[in-house]
Amino acid sequence: MFRKRLFWIIVLAVLLVAVGGGYYYYKNVYAKTQAQVEEPTTAASQVQRGDISITAVGSGTLEPSTELTLGFRTSGILAELLVKVGDKVEAGQVLARLDDTDAQAQVSQAQISLRQAEINLAELTAAVDPADLAAAQGNLASAKASLTQLTSPAGTQEVLAAKQSLTSAQDNLEELLALPDPDVVASAKADLTLAEMNLRTAQTAYDQVATRPDVAMTQQAINLWQATTNYEKALAAYNEALEGATADEIAAARSQVAQAQASLDALLADPDPDEIAAAQAKVDQTQAQLEAVLAGASATDLELAQLNVQQAQLSLDSAQRTLAETELVAPAAGTITAVNAQIGASAGSSIITLADLDTPQILFWVEESDMSSAAVGNAIETTFEALPDYVYPGKILSVDPTLVTVSNTPAVQCTASIDLSAYPVKLLSGMNATIEVVAGEALNALLVPIEALRDNGSGQYFVFVVKSNGELEMRTVEVGLKDAINAEILSGLEEGEVVTLNTSSGSSTLSTESSPFENSQQMMPGGMPFPGGGQP
């Protein structure tokens, strides 16, 4: 019985020891370990300096900065082709020529027409011919004298005057029938000598171009023709001076004698009303003739002659333009990239392609979602498929205002420059490339991980700064560029400070009443403890 009681006492003691030991283990070991496992830890990061950039990637090709399709304004037969694919040309260089035979002939014909119009205008605007004026004045005076004789009673003085006029006319006729006047002969000879000199000069100028096939159309031929005509006129005048008065002059003198005789007879006879009326008509007629000589060409004739000169000049200008258009001239410097013509065949408006390959550009596309990165002035980096080790810098020059479709995808089309001086490698137009657009960049900037930022809901950010004693300080910061990893801090932090990272899935704010960092050692990435070694 005693042994049985002792057994139960021993069992009870063992149970008490076991229960006490289990409680002690639970209280001092298991509970603390479990608490440490369940309590969350918070990561942190140090504010550092570094570079950050916002980029977008696109694809494109190398294109000429300018590409022109050149050709003739008018069709014709190609006579000369002076370039080939790959040739570099300068602005103003002749690239090709059409057969210009017809164009040359049109220019010559237009020059002749213009000269004829100018000569006609010059004749209309020339001064009054003294001989024509003297004849008109003499006719009027004679007509008036005849009328006066018919309407005025004849007196002794009038009869004497009429007789004197008759005598004067008769003397004039006798002089004309006499030998030539030496002064007139000398003047005519001087004119002939001058005309002969001009003819020799024109003949010499003509002989210098006589071998040209279009000599008949040149100005030298016209000058020779004019000089020949003037010489022939001067020669005729000289011969007339040697021969004395012409038949016309003698006839005119005889007519004056007859008129003087008639005037005298009229004074001596009774006036006839019909003769008076005829004499008055004669006065009116000769007066009109004199006024016409003094007035020269009419305003209408003069205007028509001026219009003819203008029309001839326009025709010449048009013919010269047509002749100039038979040459195809490079409007700018560049490289010939295509030639679609053959000598002897008809050539039109598109036969040569000229491109500027010395300063090419990049034509590229980025996705619609990256359109904010496609802005004029943004830097780019270009890598060609054929040259993956070379990165060429540049910048965006233009952005199209509308989307384009590339591989069935809406895209933004851009044009950018490229710095070819970076590498001594020859690039070919049309090479495919990958383009990285740098929408924003900050060098040696203060950076913190994106997880360190908290948004207060009004567009402003704050961070928790770990102070030297381990406590947390909530601080407002100004944020600049942000990528998928880091954010640029413009103000609010200093280099070397430590900020906590928001790695939990719950609220992004921390409560000052109940801190999740209690009884936990705070660690930086890589296992480095916070400065001071304490807890927040």
The tens digit of pLDDT for each residue in 105-156 reads 999 999 999 999 999 888 777 766 777 778 878 888 888 887 776 676 656 6
CB 526 within 8 A of CB 43: no
pTM of this prediction?
Answer: 0.44
Q: Which of these ranges, 10-19, 245-254, 275-284, 517-526, has the smallest mean pLDDT?
A: 517-526
Q: Which domains does the chain have, with CATH numbers?
A: 67-99+326-354 (2.40.50.100), 103-322 (no CATH)
Q: How far apart are CA 394 and CA 380, in angstroms?
A: 5
Residue 423 has pLDDT above 50, yes or no: yes
pLDDT score for 133:
73
pLDDT score for 154:
58
Q: Which of these ranges, 53-57, 101-105, 244-248, 334-338, has the smallest mean pLDDT?
A: 244-248
- What order do you get walking across the sheet with 352-355 strand by strand? 67-70, 352-355, 334-339, 88-89
CA 269 to chain centre: 90
Q: Which residue has the higher pLDDT, 322 or 214?
A: 322
Q: Which of these ranges, 28-37, 225-234, 344-353, 523-532, has the smallest mean pLDDT?
A: 523-532
262 confidence band (pLDDT: 50, 70, 90): confident
217 confidence band (pLDDT: 50, 70, 90): low
522 confidence band (pLDDT: 50, 70, 90): very low
Q: Read out DSSP for 226-248?
A: HHHHHHHHHHHHHHHHHH-S-HH
14 confidence band (pLDDT: 50, 70, 90): low
> For residue 386, what are the contacts with CB-CB under 8 A and spacing of at least 6?
431, 432
Neighbours of 536 (CB within 10 A): 21
- Nearest partner of 256 among 397, 146, 389, judged by Cα: 146
Lookup: tokens for 221: 């031929």
pLDDT score for 461:
92
Q: Which of these ranges, 88-92, 269-273, 278-282, 508-512, has the smallest mean pLDDT?
A: 508-512
Q: How far apart are CA 5 and CA 34, in angstroms?
A: 41
Q: How far apart are CA 100 and CA 106, in angstroms?
A: 10
Mean pLDDT, the chain, whole residue set: 80
Q: How far apart are CA 481 and CA 488, in angstroms?
A: 5
163 confidence band (pLDDT: 50, 70, 90): confident
Per DSSP, 529 falls in state B
377 — phi, psi (to 5°)? 100, -20
* β-strand pairing of 432-449 with 454-455: unpaired
Query: For residue 332, which amino acid is it?
Result: A
What percent of the chain has pLDDT above 90? 36
Helix axes 273-295, 130-151, angle to 10 degrees: 160
Neighbours of 295 (CB within 10 A): 10
